[in-house]
Amino acid sequence: MAATVPNINPEVVQVFLNHIYEFKKGVRQMVLFTAEKKYAEFTTRRLSRQKINYLIQPVGDGKINLFFGRKECINAIKLMVTRPLNKLTPEEDFILGAMLGYDICGQCRRYCELKSK
């Protein structure tokens, strides 16, 4: 593993692998993993080998957002997340948070805050 990614951080890899574990166990239907671009090859190769659907979104500043999970969720993300996450409408932000399994009351608060701006 370490040979494929220069200056690999085992903690970052461990978080990623834990996300895969939770997805495969059904704890999550979809995951958003943000990491440095240098992890893109390692993560996508791992997801491909395990036949897990994914989508990479460049973030800028040398990072990527890697969405992975059920095909239905990734297909929806492809249609909805067509720009940086901070540019989503309050409704899109709410839907994304719900899809990621975030606390729904927290998402409601966030939605109301975003709508009041």
Q: Say which CATH superfamily domain 1-81 falls into.
A: PG1857-like (3.30.2190.10)
Average pLDDT over residues 75-79: 97
Average pLDDT over residues 84-96: 95
Note the pLDDT of residue 7.
78
pLDDT value at 3 more than 50: no
Q: Which of the four pLDDT bands, split at 50, 70 and 90, describes residue 60?
A: confident
Segments making up each domain of the chain, as ranges? 1-81, 83-117
Q: Which of 88, 78, 34 is nearest to 54 (CA)?
A: 78
pLDDT value at 2 more than 50: no
The average confidence (pLDDT) of the chain is 93
pTM value is: 0.90
User: Helix axis angle, 90-99 relative to 71-80, nearest 10°?
Assistant: 160
